Each structure stands twice: as C-alpha cells, then as structure tokens.
A and B are shown apart, each in its own frame.
Chain A
Amino acid sequence: MLEAATLVGAVLLEAGVLYLGYGALSSIVAKPLVERIRTL
C-alpha cells in the first residue's frame, strides 16, 4: 500500500512541479511569443 501511495505521490509531485515550472516559463516567454506571432 505504501508503494502504491508513493507512486501516486510521485505523479502528483511531478504534476505540481511541472505546473509551477511551465507556469513560470510561460510568464516569461508567453508575452514575447504572442507578440512575435502577431508580427510574423
């Protein structure tokens, strides 16, 4: 049971890290990227 809970916890942790990581990345990259798409 501990192993199954650890697996679920690991997936949840990865999801949280990815959400925050990609969120931080998009806050830096999104605006310039949208501007670039608009001016292409």
Chain B
Amino acid sequence: MELFGLAASMIALFVGFGFMVGVLFGFFGMGGSFLVTPALMIMGFETTTAVGSGMAFVFGTAVIATLKHRDLGQVDYKLGGLMIVGTTAGIEVGRIGLYFLQDRGLAGLIVGVTYVVLLGGVGLFVTRNALRNDEEESIEEQHDPNGEIDPDAIPDIAKTIQSYTIPPMMTIGGGIKVSLWMVLGVAFATGLLSGFLGVGGGFIRMPAMFYLIGVPVPIAVGTDLFEIVFSGGLGSFLYGLEGAVDLSIVVPLLAGSALGARIGSTATSLVEESEIKIYFGLMLLGGSVAVALRQLGNAYGIGELKLVSFALIMLSALAVGSAVIYSALKAIREDTRTADVSPAD
C-alpha cells in the first residue's frame, strides 16, 4: 500500500523514527536533523534532498518544541533575536558552500567526513563532561527553572570569554554579561554548519551557548529552539527553492516527532539532564561511527556496512529516547513515593 508516494511501512518507519527524534529534540533542544539527515542519506536519498528535508523537519519540530518551552518560560527572546542575525548569515554561506561542492561531486564525502568529526568531537566532549559531572555532582544548579545560575556552575571557558569586555556588552538570561560580538560569532559559526550540513545546529549551538557564553541550560535549550524556528524556516525556504524539500518525508517524520517533542519537553521538568547526558554523548559517538561506516561502505562498495550504519543510528536514537522516557516515568513514581512518606502538615 502506498500513501503520498511512499510505502505504508516506510511511513510507519518515519513516524516511529520521528517520535524518537522528537523526544530527544524536546528534551535536549538538539538531536533532530543530525540523526535524520544521515539516516535519509543512508536510505539512498540524494544529499541535497536529505539536507533540505532534514532542515524542513527540524523547522517543524522546533516550532512545536518552542511553543512548549515558551509555556515553561525558558526562552530568552533578546538573545534568540541576536542568534537569528548571526545564524542567518552563516546558513547562507554554508548553503552556497554545499552547492559548490555538489557541483564538483564532493558534497557527499565532505558532508559525511564533517559529520564524523563533529559528532565524534562533540560526543567525546559531552561524554567526558558527563563523567566528570558524575564525579563532582555539581550540575544541579543548571536546572533552576528561574534561570538564575550559580557562578560555580559556569564553565571556566565561559568565564574566560565573559572576561573579554569588547563593547557593546549585553545581559542575557541568568544575569550574565557577555560581548555582543561573542554571541554573533557563536551564532555565525553554528549557522555555517547548519546551512552546510542541513542541521538545526542545536547539537553545536546548545553546548556552545552553555560552554562558551555561560547561558543556563534550560534557557539555552528554549532559546536555541526559538532560534531554530527562524534559521530552520529560512533554510527550508532556500532548499525549497532548489526543489530539495520532500514533503512525503517531512510530513510523517513531523507527525511522530510532534508527540515525542511534547513528551521530551515535559521530561525536562522531571529529569536531571546530568542523568541522561552520558547517553546523549554516547549516541553522538554512535552517530559518528555510523556515518564513518557508511562512508567506508560507499568507498569500498560494501552494502552491509550501510545497513550496520543505519541500524546503529536507529538504535542509538531508540536507546537514548527510551532512557529519557524511562527516567521521566521513574521520576513520576519517585515523586509519588516521596509524597507518600512525607508527613502531612
């Protein structure tokens, strides 16, 4: 049976995969198209279609997740507005770069290698920090819903960057002062990756906002999603102009991710991110290995490697998405037990 030109089994796969990605996206504010785009490439879609459709998917998911985070008061509109300016310029430069490489037949290889390096690098960084935080148990302050941040919770590198007072300076969520140029620089760099790789850029921007600028994690997540609404919308439009957005891919993915994003966003108020962070880091590393295997499969014509790569991406998303849901369910049940043993006033 076919719907919108796709087999029903393929639509079911897209809806299920979208759901897993939505849980991750809603919870971490990242992890959307960096999973979707490589998966589409592995499934045999053309690079520009995978990138364009991945970006349209991220745009839709970001709209839904931002509305949810706005309800939780986790969006810094001033910071988000500035991020949009820097990211927009970066996306256009990245997109031009991708088409330049596509014309020379190099897009698939270079996008693949960039994914391997980025996913691997960020994955190692997140995993290392998660392990360190496990030892120090000092990250709880980052989940203050009011956005107030303990100076001890600001990473050292962020403190160093905040010490450069290149005017104009601005105050962001959590009462942190930072140079406008630093904000624009981070936004441009992540926009460049966004346009080049067809990702929302969250898996770079969200850690960058926390580690480089010092924005509290909940506000970094909400503001990042708000920013992705605009950058994703613009990116989708630009790729749409080239005919690289396939609605038969985007619609079922979005249907699944909308439900997942709602559950993931709600889970942020129930689960400590530090509990999940290590899984997320490992998932990024899994994604890196998956893309590397696909590149090897392409280079040496080994079809099995592509299949292993696809399974690895799917299983990584499934494992971390399940960890988020399991932790949320556990938190609900532990709340009940705490309430049961608390003495009545």
Q: Which residues of A contact B (CB under 8 A)?
A: 1, 3-5, 7-8, 10-12, 14-16, 18-19, 22-23, 26, 34, 37-38, 40
Contact = CB atoms under 8 A, between A and B. Distances in A.
B312 interface: no
B258 A18 contact: yes
B332 A11 contact: no
Given A1-B241, A14-B251, A8 B333 contact: no
A12 B262 contact: no
B259 A11 contact: no
Given A14-B251, A15-B64, A34-B332, A8 B258 contact: no
Closest 5 A/B residue pairs (Cβ)? A4-B240, A18-B258, A15-B63, A15-B60, A7-B240
Interface string B58-69: 011101100110
Given A12-B60, A14-B60, A14-B254, A7 B262 contact: no
Contacts of A34: 332
B199 to A, nearest CB: 16
Contact of B247 (A7, A12, A22): A7
Name the prevailing secondary structure of the A interface residues.
Answer: helix
A34 B332 CA distance: 8
Nearest to B258: A18
Interface residues on B, range: 20 to 34
Contact of B56 (A11, A23, A38, A40): A11
Contacts of B336: 38
A27 B281 CA distance: 33
A10 B247 contact: yes
16 contacts: A4-B241, A4-B245, A7-B240, A7-B247, A11-B247, A12-B59, A12-B233, A15-B60, A15-B258, A18-B258, A19-B64, A19-B67, A23-B262, A38-B333, A38-B336, A40-B333
Nearest to B52: A7
A15 to B, nearest CB: 4
B63 A16 contact: yes
A26 B262 contact: yes
Contact of B236 (A8, A18, A40): A8
Interface in B294-336: 329, 332-333, 335-336
B59 A8 contact: yes
Contacts of A37: 329, 332-333
A9 B329 CA distance: 36
B182 interface: no
